[in-house]
Amino acid sequence: MLRLVQEIWIYNPLEPSNLSNEKRITNHESQTPLEVKTMKKLSQTQSIPSKTIGVLALQGAFREHRHILERLGVGVREVRLPADLEGISGLIIPGGESTTMAKLMMDYQLKQPIRDFAAHGGAIWGTCAGAILLAKDIENQVDAHISTASDQPRLELMHTRVRRNAFGRQVDSFQASLEIVGMDQPFKAIFIRAPVFLEVGDAVQVLSRVGDQIVLAREGKLLASSFHPELTGDPRVHQYFLDMTLEP
Protein backbone atom coordinates (compact mmCIF):
# COMPACT_ATOMS: atom_id res chain seq x y z
CA MET A 1 0.00 0.00 0.00
CA LEU A 2 2.76 2.39 0.91
CA ARG A 3 4.50 1.67 -2.35
CA LEU A 4 1.32 2.43 -4.25
CA VAL A 5 0.93 5.77 -2.56
CA GLN A 6 4.53 6.70 -3.15
CA GLU A 7 4.14 5.90 -6.81
CA ILE A 8 1.09 8.07 -7.08
CA TRP A 9 3.03 10.84 -5.42
CA ILE A 10 5.89 10.44 -7.86
CA TYR A 11 3.86 11.26 -10.93
CA ASN A 12 2.01 14.19 -9.45
CA PRO A 13 3.21 17.23 -11.36
CA LEU A 14 2.41 19.46 -8.40
CA GLU A 15 4.93 17.66 -6.25
CA PRO A 16 7.80 20.15 -5.69
CA SER A 17 10.37 17.35 -5.52
CA ASN A 18 9.59 16.57 -9.15
CA LEU A 19 10.37 20.07 -10.22
CA SER A 20 13.73 20.81 -8.65
CA ASN A 21 14.92 22.50 -11.79
CA GLU A 22 15.82 25.84 -10.32
CA LYS A 23 19.16 25.89 -12.11
CA ARG A 24 17.64 25.71 -15.55
CA ILE A 25 15.19 28.45 -14.75
CA THR A 26 18.05 30.63 -13.56
CA ASN A 27 19.94 29.98 -16.78
CA HIS A 28 16.88 30.88 -18.68
CA GLU A 29 16.58 34.15 -16.81
CA SER A 30 20.19 35.08 -17.38
CA GLN A 31 19.72 34.61 -21.11
CA THR A 32 16.81 37.00 -21.24
CA PRO A 33 16.98 39.12 -18.11
CA LEU A 34 15.06 42.02 -19.55
CA GLU A 35 12.10 40.03 -20.73
CA VAL A 36 11.80 38.03 -17.54
CA LYS A 37 12.05 41.13 -15.39
CA THR A 38 9.39 42.85 -17.45
CA MET A 39 7.20 39.81 -17.10
CA LYS A 40 7.57 39.81 -13.33
CA LYS A 41 6.77 43.49 -13.09
CA LEU A 42 3.75 43.15 -15.28
CA SER A 43 2.47 40.14 -13.44
CA GLN A 44 2.44 42.14 -10.23
CA THR A 45 0.11 44.72 -11.68
CA GLN A 46 -1.81 42.77 -14.33
CA SER A 47 -3.49 39.42 -14.27
CA ILE A 48 -1.91 38.23 -17.55
CA PRO A 49 1.90 38.01 -17.70
CA SER A 50 3.44 39.25 -20.94
CA LYS A 51 4.64 35.75 -21.84
CA THR A 52 1.77 33.35 -22.11
CA ILE A 53 1.73 29.79 -23.40
CA GLY A 54 -1.55 28.45 -24.72
CA VAL A 55 -2.62 24.88 -24.00
CA LEU A 56 -5.27 23.47 -26.30
CA ALA A 57 -7.99 22.47 -23.83
CA LEU A 58 -10.53 20.74 -26.05
CA GLN A 59 -9.97 17.42 -24.30
CA GLY A 60 -7.21 15.42 -22.62
CA ALA A 61 -4.32 16.02 -20.23
CA PHE A 62 -4.16 19.81 -20.60
CA ARG A 63 -4.12 20.48 -16.86
CA GLU A 64 -0.86 18.53 -16.39
CA HIS A 65 0.86 20.76 -18.97
CA ARG A 66 -0.57 23.79 -17.22
CA HIS A 67 0.85 22.72 -13.85
CA ILE A 68 4.38 22.22 -15.19
CA LEU A 69 4.35 25.51 -17.13
CA GLU A 70 3.18 27.38 -14.05
CA ARG A 71 6.00 25.85 -12.02
CA LEU A 72 8.38 27.18 -14.67
CA GLY A 73 6.98 30.64 -14.12
CA VAL A 74 5.06 31.24 -17.33
CA GLY A 75 1.47 32.34 -17.76
CA VAL A 76 -0.89 29.73 -19.19
CA ARG A 77 -4.10 30.15 -21.13
CA GLU A 78 -6.48 27.31 -21.96
CA VAL A 79 -7.41 27.51 -25.64
CA ARG A 80 -10.89 26.35 -26.67
CA LEU A 81 -11.91 28.95 -29.24
CA PRO A 82 -9.97 30.90 -31.91
CA ALA A 83 -10.05 34.11 -29.84
CA ASP A 84 -8.03 32.36 -27.11
CA LEU A 85 -4.99 32.21 -29.44
CA GLU A 86 -4.58 35.99 -29.31
CA GLY A 87 -1.27 37.06 -27.78
CA ILE A 88 0.19 33.67 -26.87
CA SER A 89 3.83 32.93 -27.66
CA GLY A 90 3.54 29.15 -27.89
CA LEU A 91 0.87 26.48 -28.09
CA ILE A 92 0.87 23.00 -26.59
CA ILE A 93 -1.48 20.36 -27.97
CA PRO A 94 -1.82 17.77 -25.19
CA GLY A 95 -2.35 14.04 -25.08
CA GLY A 96 -5.88 12.72 -25.14
CA GLU A 97 -8.00 11.22 -27.90
CA SER A 98 -6.88 12.66 -31.23
CA THR A 99 -10.16 11.92 -33.04
CA THR A 100 -12.09 13.82 -30.34
CA MET A 101 -9.74 16.79 -30.44
CA ALA A 102 -9.74 16.85 -34.25
CA LYS A 103 -13.51 16.92 -34.31
CA LEU A 104 -13.78 19.76 -31.79
CA MET A 105 -11.01 21.64 -33.60
CA MET A 106 -13.02 21.51 -36.83
CA ASP A 107 -16.38 22.24 -35.15
CA TYR A 108 -15.02 25.42 -33.59
CA GLN A 109 -12.96 26.61 -36.59
CA LEU A 110 -9.59 26.33 -34.88
CA LYS A 111 -7.62 24.68 -37.68
CA GLN A 112 -6.88 27.73 -39.83
CA PRO A 113 -6.13 30.09 -36.92
CA ILE A 114 -3.64 27.56 -35.50
CA ARG A 115 -2.04 27.19 -38.95
CA ASP A 116 -1.84 30.99 -39.18
CA PHE A 117 -0.24 31.10 -35.73
CA ALA A 118 2.47 28.70 -36.95
CA ALA A 119 2.91 30.61 -40.20
CA HIS A 120 3.63 33.77 -38.19
CA GLY A 121 6.41 32.03 -36.27
CA GLY A 122 4.42 30.70 -33.31
CA ALA A 123 5.93 27.62 -31.66
CA ILE A 124 3.72 24.53 -31.33
CA TRP A 125 4.39 21.32 -29.41
CA GLY A 126 2.19 18.25 -29.77
CA THR A 127 2.37 15.40 -27.24
CA CYS A 128 0.97 11.99 -28.28
CA ALA A 129 -2.46 12.85 -29.70
CA GLY A 130 -1.11 16.36 -30.29
CA ALA A 131 1.75 14.93 -32.35
CA ILE A 132 -0.81 13.09 -34.51
CA LEU A 133 -2.72 16.34 -35.08
CA LEU A 134 0.48 18.17 -36.12
CA ALA A 135 1.39 15.58 -38.76
CA LYS A 136 1.05 16.05 -42.51
CA ASP A 137 0.15 12.43 -42.87
CA ILE A 138 -1.47 9.71 -40.75
CA GLU A 139 -0.93 6.12 -41.79
CA ASN A 140 -3.99 4.39 -43.13
CA GLN A 141 -4.25 1.38 -40.88
CA VAL A 142 -4.33 -2.16 -42.23
CA ASP A 143 -7.75 -2.75 -40.78
CA ALA A 144 -10.01 -1.23 -43.41
CA HIS A 145 -12.80 -0.79 -40.84
CA ILE A 146 -10.89 2.07 -39.27
CA SER A 147 -12.25 4.80 -41.43
CA THR A 148 -11.00 7.64 -39.26
CA ALA A 149 -7.33 6.72 -39.60
CA SER A 150 -6.22 8.45 -42.76
CA ASP A 151 -8.98 10.95 -43.41
CA GLN A 152 -8.99 12.25 -39.85
CA PRO A 153 -8.87 16.07 -39.81
CA ARG A 154 -5.49 17.38 -38.66
CA LEU A 155 -3.33 20.49 -38.78
CA GLU A 156 -1.00 19.12 -41.49
CA LEU A 157 1.88 21.29 -40.32
CA MET A 158 4.83 19.00 -39.66
CA HIS A 159 6.50 16.84 -42.28
CA THR A 160 5.93 13.59 -40.47
CA ARG A 161 3.99 10.47 -41.24
CA VAL A 162 2.59 8.95 -38.04
CA ARG A 163 1.35 5.51 -37.11
CA ARG A 164 -1.24 5.58 -34.34
CA ASN A 165 -1.09 3.06 -31.48
CA ALA A 166 2.24 1.92 -32.94
CA PHE A 167 3.19 -0.19 -29.92
CA GLY A 168 -0.25 -1.79 -29.52
CA ARG A 169 -3.20 -1.37 -27.19
CA GLN A 170 -3.17 -0.21 -23.55
CA VAL A 171 -1.73 -3.47 -22.17
CA ASP A 172 1.34 -2.74 -24.33
CA SER A 173 1.85 0.78 -23.00
CA PHE A 174 5.26 1.18 -21.35
CA GLN A 175 7.79 3.46 -19.75
CA ALA A 176 11.41 3.77 -20.82
CA SER A 177 14.55 5.80 -20.20
CA LEU A 178 15.24 7.93 -23.29
CA GLU A 179 18.43 9.45 -24.59
CA ILE A 180 17.47 12.88 -25.93
CA VAL A 181 19.75 14.99 -28.13
CA GLY A 182 21.13 17.87 -26.06
CA MET A 183 20.24 16.41 -22.65
CA ASP A 184 22.94 15.03 -20.35
CA GLN A 185 20.75 12.73 -18.34
CA PRO A 186 18.21 10.17 -19.63
CA PHE A 187 14.56 11.24 -19.65
CA LYS A 188 11.96 8.95 -18.10
CA ALA A 189 9.24 8.72 -20.73
CA ILE A 190 5.75 7.25 -20.56
CA PHE A 191 4.27 5.83 -23.75
CA ILE A 192 0.48 5.35 -23.68
CA ARG A 193 -1.04 3.77 -26.78
CA ALA A 194 1.65 5.89 -28.35
CA PRO A 195 2.17 6.83 -31.98
CA VAL A 196 5.57 6.85 -33.75
CA PHE A 197 6.88 8.84 -36.68
CA LEU A 198 7.33 6.41 -39.56
CA GLU A 199 8.86 8.95 -41.92
CA VAL A 200 10.08 12.48 -41.43
CA GLY A 201 10.92 15.22 -43.93
CA ASP A 202 14.44 16.51 -44.64
CA ALA A 203 13.98 19.56 -42.41
CA VAL A 204 12.95 17.43 -39.44
CA GLN A 205 15.53 16.88 -36.72
CA VAL A 206 15.21 13.56 -34.87
CA LEU A 207 15.78 14.15 -31.14
CA SER A 208 15.08 10.71 -29.70
CA ARG A 209 14.25 7.13 -30.62
CA VAL A 210 13.03 3.95 -28.95
CA GLY A 211 14.93 1.22 -30.75
CA ASP A 212 14.79 2.49 -34.31
CA GLN A 213 11.40 4.20 -33.86
CA ILE A 214 11.37 8.00 -33.85
CA VAL A 215 9.59 9.35 -30.76
CA LEU A 216 10.75 12.99 -30.48
CA ALA A 217 11.29 15.28 -33.46
CA ARG A 218 11.56 18.96 -34.28
CA GLU A 219 10.98 20.96 -37.45
CA GLY A 220 11.65 24.69 -37.13
CA LYS A 221 9.36 25.86 -34.36
CA LEU A 222 7.31 22.66 -34.30
CA LEU A 223 8.02 19.96 -31.73
CA ALA A 224 6.36 16.54 -31.56
CA SER A 225 6.70 13.84 -28.90
CA SER A 226 4.96 10.50 -28.89
CA PHE A 227 5.40 10.26 -25.09
CA HIS A 228 4.03 12.32 -22.18
CA PRO A 229 6.51 14.66 -20.44
CA GLU A 230 3.53 16.24 -18.64
CA LEU A 231 2.96 13.04 -16.63
CA THR A 232 6.40 12.55 -15.11
CA GLY A 233 7.07 15.97 -13.62
CA ASP A 234 10.51 16.29 -15.26
CA PRO A 235 10.28 19.75 -16.88
CA ARG A 236 13.22 19.48 -19.27
CA VAL A 237 11.19 19.04 -22.46
CA HIS A 238 8.87 21.87 -21.37
CA GLN A 239 11.94 24.04 -20.79
CA TYR A 240 13.25 23.06 -24.23
CA PHE A 241 9.93 24.16 -25.74
CA LEU A 242 9.95 27.45 -23.82
CA ASP A 243 13.44 28.13 -25.20
CA MET A 244 12.06 27.42 -28.69
CA THR A 245 9.39 30.09 -28.25
CA LEU A 246 12.14 32.65 -27.54
CA GLU A 247 14.03 31.91 -30.75
CA PRO A 248 13.62 34.48 -33.52
- Residues lying near another protein in the complex (CB under 8 A): 1-5, 7-12, 14, 57-64, 80, 95-97, 99-100, 103-104, 107, 128-129, 141, 143, 145-149, 164-165, 169-177, 190, 192-193, 228, 231-232
Q: Is 230 a catalytic residue?
A: yes
Would you call 33 helix, strand, or coil by DSSP?
helix
> Shortest distance, CB of residue 175 to another protein, whole angstroms?
5
> Shortest distance, CB of residue 174 to another protein, whole angstroms?
5
> Shortest distance, CB of residue 185 to another protein, whole angstroms?
13
Query: What contacts 210, CB < 8 A, 6 or more positions away?
Result: 176, 178, 191, 196
> Shortest distance, CB of residue 79 to another protein, whole angstroms?
11
Cβ pair 108, 86 in contact under 8 A: no
- Do the strands 158-163 and 135-138 form a parallel or antiparallel pair, or are they unpaired? parallel
Set 67, 159, 228, 238: catalytic member = 228
Q: Toward another protein, which CB reaches closer, 193 or 218?
A: 193
Half-sphere exposure of 128 (CA within 13 A, CB side): 26
Q: Toward another protein, which CB reaches closer, 35 or 179?
A: 179
Q: Toward another protein, which CB reaches closer, 10 or 206?
A: 10
Q: Toward another protein, which CB reaches closer, 23 or 145?
A: 145
Please give the Cα distance from 43 to 51 (Å, whole number). 10
Set 65, 67, 230, 238: catalytic member = 230
| Phi, psi dihedrals of residue 145, rounded to the nearest 5° | -70, -25
Q: Toward another protein, which CB reaches closer, 5 or 34?
A: 5
> Shortest distance, CB of residue 240 to another protein, whole angstroms?
21
Set 67, 128, 159, 238: catalytic member = 128
Four-point Cα dihedral 10, 59, 105, 245, nearest 10: -20
The dihedral through the CA atoms of 223, 226, 231, 236 has a sign that is: negative
The number of beta carbons lying within 10 Å of the beta carbon of residue 25 is 17
- List active site positions: 128, 228, 230
